[in-house]
Structure 1
């Protein structure tokens, strides 16, 4: 029997999951509708944004609760690896390689934006509200913000590493954790909205997105050439392959990560002792390996469409983690977070304008930093489901640079704060 520990109307995971699925069904049905109202509505509001934002509103209004829910954990650990496998089965790796260096440049620009944004935000806020970025000892604000830097340049493992490296106090950590989640989710909402305006933004950057469209077209053309109506056996094979490899990835990760932690603790700085890191890497790697086999033909019976369904369930659970009312509780810290994100965005846009990078690279490069492997493929798939693996590959890169980048950001924040 479940005991409610929240003031929300619905706290049971089965009930919340049912609500999220109804939301997804409503959005998908209306976005495919030929009625003029819905066609005009979705011209301005991307469907993926609603799938993400509506659960956040429901959580903020205490209709559903994310506090004691395991739905995000299940979606990120089970559904995400499965969707990555199914997305990568039909991938054209040579075509993605043709995307060139701009993808990596924009990712690194995003990393630099996070490293510089933290200390600049502290410096700016200290001018008119020094108490907001003050504190001493383990609960000094700058120490807490180092965990945000870790989260925004790699993910949860890097965040945990920064908490230990800078000895962050238990009083400041919950406050900065709220800043991390809310600001990252608000920025994700902007990126999802921007995905529907990519062509206009590309005109501003004077960017040529033809290489991206070519990759997208090649993958979609291949899928169309082998398309057929799936039988129950086909769908069961897709699910069996996806979740079978997901289970194998968990089994391997549960052995590799503890072994490295115990025998090679120095590898923690590269996030190589993170179980989630190995789950994502193994699942993606095996999916890529299968793209060179006959398994690639599963794309013809709906592998990527099934992956899209799994990914949208993840999107809904990510949105459910957002509590917009948290901004009221620590407005000063959220101001720091807002300035931080704006510096990140400004550097991204300046570099994109300089090298004429398409908005796709801006969005995925940013989210590979701020959101990591859990949401970078979400942003990439908002442009096209066939591009989701690009987000995964960049997010994996974030794991490797995350600890060093976050540590440097922490040292710079300490310097300006003291």
Structure 2
């Protein structure tokens, strides 16, 4: 895509090198090489910097992100579906079922709380401050639903499906980080007092004790160091399926456009929507095969690398100076998160589930596989894989559920 001459760097290869170096520096600093950086990243998530630093480059004129070819087609059409494949193939549905019906019930209640929270927050803000939900706000909310049901890949997928403006997406990224960070801080505080809370509520913790032992055995049996063959298979599988998804999506979207009258209303005439759905479905189907063993060799880590490059490419398109123009979006996020917490807390109380179920179920939705293990480990180190299992479920369901949540919000917005 041609670029303007206003930016200092106009060569996309040079821009790619700059972005790669920036991401590497952020993650190295996030590892805590000094006490200062350890404290800094305890408050500022690396994810947010991966978005905002490229946005800063664009804002000051160092690069021209809007006209760069890095985001489209490389980022959105290649890296995103590859990330979806690798993040969903690791799902162990059988293992999740063994965790017990109460945990699954609470987790699903959390997902319902996210969908309900989107509807309630939109309606409440329409009553008290209509400009907050006017225009394309519903599109940004659909993207946020993708993040809070699944994760970053699902948020980016919804960003593409509903064509969310880069600045609006950045504003909702702030809401995402602010609300998720507040929730995590609260859950970490609760984790240190979980035994007292469970004792007072009369929760049944027998299944939780068995789970600790089972997860410890699973983790010990499956960990291994990836070989070159493992990594080549992971990369080949991911990008091979991306190519297949594109090959199928083009004629499929054309068929829906020609034969289904309401195809445009539900974005079924968009080839990209089908690429996202097919990539997610392919990864989910592979999770039932031996291919899922690639997770022990780092499949999800490779997928996360693709995801972070994609997030940086999205940040390149944003004008940083416009980021805080709509602080009322924070109010939407606060109402939304409150509804989610109330629903999942009520579900846990209903089935006398341990507070751990509510904590990891909530973060399994809002924080997905990146944050849920942190909360799970805060309750007990051996429970971290539970957070991974629940978090990865969101990657499979987040895109679909967030898509339909977006359709509801679209109707509420009258579009």
TM-score by length of 1: 0.71
Deviation (angstroms), 1:347: 2.0
Aligned equivalent of 1:291, options 287, 291, 295: 287
Instruction: Report the count of equivalent residues.
Output: 371
1:393 aligned partner: 396
Q: Which moved more, 1:349-358 or 1:217-226?
A: 217-226
SS at match of 2:262: helix
Task: State yes or no: 1:339 paired with 2:343.
Answer: no
SS at match of 1:91: coil
Deviation (angstroms), 1:327: 4.6
Q: Which moved more, 1:237-246 or 1:315-324?
A: 315-324
1:107 aligned partner: 111
Deviation (angstroms), 1:268: 4.3
TM-score by length of 2: 0.72
Deviation (angstroms), 1:194: 5.0
Aligned equivalent of 1:186, options 174, 183, 191: 174
Is the 1:304–1:385 contact (alpha carbons within 8 Å) kept by the matching residues of 2?
no
CA deviation map 1:127-185 (0-9, x unaligned): xxxxx68xxxxxxx84554555565567357746xxxxxxxxxxxxxxx9466323211
Is the 1:81–1:279 contact (alpha carbons within 8 Å) kept by the matching residues of 2?
yes
**How far apart are the structure 2 equivalents of 1:247 and 1:303?**
18
Q: How does 1:344-383 map to 2 (within 5 A)?
A: 344-356=336-348, 358=358, 361-362=361-362, 365=365
**How far apart are the structure 1 equivalents of 2:327 and 2:42?**
32
Given the superposition, is the C-alpha separation of residues 3 and 157 from structure 1 closer, same or farther in structure 2, using an over 3 Å criterion?
A: closer
2:28 aligned partner: 29
**How far apart are the structure 1 equivalents of 2:144 and 2:42?**
31
Q: How does 1:19-418 map to 2 (within 5 A)?
A: 19-33=18-32, 35-73=34-72, 74-97=74-97, 98=99, 99-125=103-129, 142-145=134-137, 147-148=139-140, 155-156=158-159, 159=162, 177=165, 180-190=168-178, 193=181, 197=185, 199-200=187-188, 202-203=190-191, 222=218, 225-327=221-323, 331=325, 334-356=326-348, 358=358, 361-362=361-362, 365=365, 389-399=392-402, 401-402=404-405, 404-411=407-414
Deviation (angstroms), 1:84: 2.6
Q: Which moved more, 1:283-292 or 1:399-408?
A: 399-408
**How far apart are the structure 1 equivalents of 2:303 and 2:209?**
20
Unpaired segments ≥5 residues, structure 2: 147-157, 349-356, 376-386
CA deviation map 1:245-292 (0-9, x unaligned): 111111112222221122113244444434333222322222233233
Is the 1:55–1:320 contact (alpha carbons within 8 Å) kept by the matching residues of 2?
yes
CA RMSD of aligned residues (A): 4.1
SS at match of 1:292: coil
Is the 2:76–2:160 contact (alpha carbons within 8 Å) kept by the matching residues of 1?
no
Deviation (angstroms), 1:200: 1.9
Is the 1:81–1:280 contact (alpha carbons within 8 Å) kept by the matching residues of 2?
yes
**How far apart are the structure 1 equivalents of 2:327 and 2:50?**
27
CA deviation map 1:273-320 (0-9, x unaligned): 343332223222222332333323333433233223222222323443
